Amino acid sequence: MDHVIPKRRIDVLVRLENGDTVAGGAFLNYIDAIHRGEQTLLDKLNDDFTWFPINGDDDDVELLNRRHVVLVQPGPDVPPELVHPDLEREGGEHFRREGVTLRLGSDLMIEGRIPMNLPEEFSRISDFLNFPQDFFVVETPDGPVLVSKVHVISLTPHENPPAMPSDAGNADEGRG
């Protein structure tokens, strides 16, 4: 007997480490297992499962290994609340966006802003990148992109990190 769990299909374009792209639909749960509310694409990419299905335009299903996924671009009609949580609304005083340039392989550069919700003691971009989640959001002029940390070759912050309360006089020393 088949047991089918209802899912929401959202359009995505997936770029793999070999340079191939896969267009189709990713499936999100209506209720997330970790937090209240609907599962987001970021939740899906950061869950514990190695493989996830993409439903192509021809209704074929292809299972992708997330370790080989460089980035995922949601389709233009995907609502922002299904891409990632609203950190600005949830984060309060600790929310900020950090402008960055990312190099992903020899042929791909991304420029945008990373939304972060971190306490002051972990507010540098390097702290954020060392958190355990595999994927993070970069807000680009063309919309959000979800990027795999393991495929980031380099990241250049566009601004200095916030000054720590005890380091207020040393705010210009070094970046991220």
Does a structural domain hold residue 21? yes
Of 41 and 124, the one with more pLDDT:
41
pLDDT given at position 168: 47
Same-domain check for residues 73 and 137? no
Same-domain check for residues 74 and 123? no
Q: What is the CATH number of the domain that holds 126?
A: 2.30.30
Same-domain check for residues 116 and 50? no
End-of-domain residue from the set 55, 78, 101: 78
Q: Does residue 85 surpass a pLDDT of 90?
A: no
Closest CA to 54 of 37, 33, 69, 36: 69
Does a structural domain hold residue 170? no
User: Two tokens at 113?
Assistant: 């802003």
Residue with tokens 């993070």: 136
Does a structural domain hold residue 175? no
Query: DSSP secondary structure string, 14-77?
Result: EEETTS-EEEEEEEEESS-SSSSSPPPHHHHHTSS-SEEEEE-TTS-EEEEEGGGEEEEEE-TT
Does a structural domain hold residue 1? no
pLDDT, tens digit, 9 for 90 and up, residues 24-79? 999 998 776 666 678 899 999 999 999 999 998 778 899 999 999 999 999 999 99
pLDDT given at position 22: 94
Q: What is the CATH number of the domain that holds 39?
A: 2.30.30.100
DSSP state of 88: H
Range 47-50 contact pairs with CB under 8 angstroms and sequence separation of 24 or more: none
Same-domain check for residues 26 and 59? yes
End-of-domain residue from the set 39, 58, 78: 78
Number of domains the chain contains = 2
pTM above 0.85, yes or no: no
Residues in the chain, how many?
176
Helix (H, G, I), strand (E, B) or coil at 126: helix
98 lies in which domain range?
87-161
Closest CA to 6 of 34, 36, 39, 35: 39
Q: Does residue 166 surpass a pLDDT of 60?
A: no
End-of-domain residue from the set 78, 100, 121: 78
Same-domain check for residues 49 and 108? no
Same-domain check for residues 32 and 91? no
Same-domain check for residues 11 and 64? yes
Does a structural domain hold residue 41? yes
pLDDT, tens digit, 9 for 90 and up, residues 108-117? 999 999 998 7
